[in-house]
Structure 1
Amino acid sequence: MRRLGIDLSYFFTYEDEIPDGVGFSHFGPVHLLWLGVCAGLLLLFLHYYKRWGGRRRLLAERGIGIFLVGLEVYRIAVLALIGKMSLYQLPLHLCSMAGFLCCLHAFFKWDWLGQVLYTLCLPGTVLALLFPDWVRYPAIHFITIQGFTFHAGIVLYVICQLLQHNIIPRLAALWKVIVFLLVVVPPVYLFDKKFHANYMFVNVPSPGSPLEWLASFLGNPGYLAGYAVLMLLCMVLMDAGYRLLLDRKSCGT
């Protein structure tokens, strides 16, 4: 691999032991290459997914859900093996939760869960792909691979559910997403404060993300107000955008 210019010597090294300059930058060549690979694989999978029958689609959806949980288990297991598993590596970020929620939805198809996955998790996951917080790691690293694969898998799962109409976004169901947030965010916030963690980025904005921009003029914890407004606006736009897309399709037919 060294002949190809790829150094795997840090493959299982945690970020606090990786020297400066080894990682990649937001929207740099490595980041764009990863995004391109993810987009290509998603399009390839969807090409075949649309041709499959109902039974095969169901198996594929459940396979994606189980795969996502497996990726999180893999991440935690490797961190434990290298002695870096801690309270700060629990699956309490929204995207980490989304992997488990996808798996749950693959088997039960609860409406509230579908609303949460589309309205909340999908835009959050896309933002995580655009502004990854694992840029300190090399291009080829177990965290880098897991991060891009995991988040792309969530996007893929939600798109599959939209194609199958197993998820039907509705503004009238937005309250279900808000209730989910009211149940989940307060305990995570208290956990963050008690243990100085940063799950769901409610303690400190993610470096290089829009939240950091909000904090630059709203301060901390002032950025949380902007965070909440942005989330609500995003959720409304997601549902309204889906409705608009359906209306255009109806007019086209």
Structure 2
Amino acid sequence: MNGFTIFDSVHLTWLIGICLFFIISLYFYHYISPKQQQLFQKMIFWLLLFLELAKQLYLVSTNQYSYWSPPLHLCGLGILIIGWHVYVPSRTSATLLFTLTLPGAAIALIFPGWTADAVGSFLHIHSFVFHALLIVFVLVLVRERQLQTDFKDCWRAVVFLALTVPIIYAYNAAFNTNFMFLNKPVENTPLQWLFDAFGASGYLVSLAGVIFVIWVVLYFVKGLKRD
């Protein structure tokens, strides 16, 4: 079977199913004990790690492994951030989860970059499940007010990006890849709109502006919930 297109029946079915998964997970997490909540967080982390390892083995075994295969997208780095927060939680890990992992995974689900993968294939299923798990990890923490971060903590995310983006950009330049979509946007997504509006020279600057706006909205909504 061929791939799918954004917002077609396949995509919408996945989104509806994932939303139901979120609702069930939020309800379940709310009514379990703190010890069980810790176990839930660890299970999500280890499941994400297992899924990524399975993907790497699949690519190797099917002779599809390439310079595009390492988990260097923002969502791939999310595994490390979640592991960090599960075992050595800090305000920095909380901020990275809220400002980068949550919106990054949400945007990936709404505007997936794996539409060419055959529907029902391992990579197709993996991509939807993987990103859904990233989001649900952050959502349950936000819902239970267990994610300690404020807008003033955004500098932590800026420092993280300042350290990682140049490395990813250099990797992209060396191997002609496009991790974090730094070199070019995904077609038929808001990233493409930015590229078309501001051109190649203004793409990254406009992207940084959009990220800032997303942070403002996220912390505004979080503040409303807290009040």
**What TM bracket, shorter-length normalisation?**
over 0.9
Change (3 A) 1:73 1:221: farther
TM-score using structure 2 length: 0.96
Matched, 1:117 2:111: no
Matched, 1:170 2:150: yes
Q: Residues of 2 paired with 1:227 and 1:154: CA distance?
A: 22
Who is 1:12 aligned against?
none
Matched, 1:215 2:198: no
SS of 1:219's partner is helix
Superposed CA RMSD = 1.3
Matched, 1:32 2:4: no
Deviations 1:136-189 (A, max 9, x none): 112211111110100000111001222343312301111111111111111111
Can you give the 5+ residue segments of structure 2 that lack an aligned partner in the other structure? none
1:227 Cα shift? 0.6
Corresponding residue to 2:82 among 96, 102, 109: 102
Deviations 1:89-125 (A, max 9, x none): 1100001111221122111112101101111211111
1:154-165 alignment, distance < 5 Å: 154-165=134-145
Q: Residues of 1 paired with 2:210 and 2:124: CA distance?
A: 27
TM-score using structure 1 length: 0.86
Larger Rg: 1
> In 2, are the aligned partners of 1:61 and 1:160 still within 8 Å (CA)?
no
SS of 1:91's partner is coil
Equivalent position amino acid for 2:30 in 1: K
Q: Residues of 2 paired with 1:98 and 1:193: CA distance?
A: 22
Q: Residues of 2 paired with 1:242 and 1:34: CA distance?
A: 26
Aligned residues: 227
1:86 Cα shift? 1.4
Can you give the 5+ residue segments of structure 1 that lack an aligned partner in the other structure? 1-6, 8-21, 248-253
Who is 2:159 aligned against?
179
Equivalent position amino acid for 1:53 in 2: S
Matched, 1:246 2:197: no
1:56-135 alignment, distance < 5 Å: 56-135=36-115
1:34-53 alignment, distance < 5 Å: 34-53=14-33
Who is 1:145 aligned against?
125
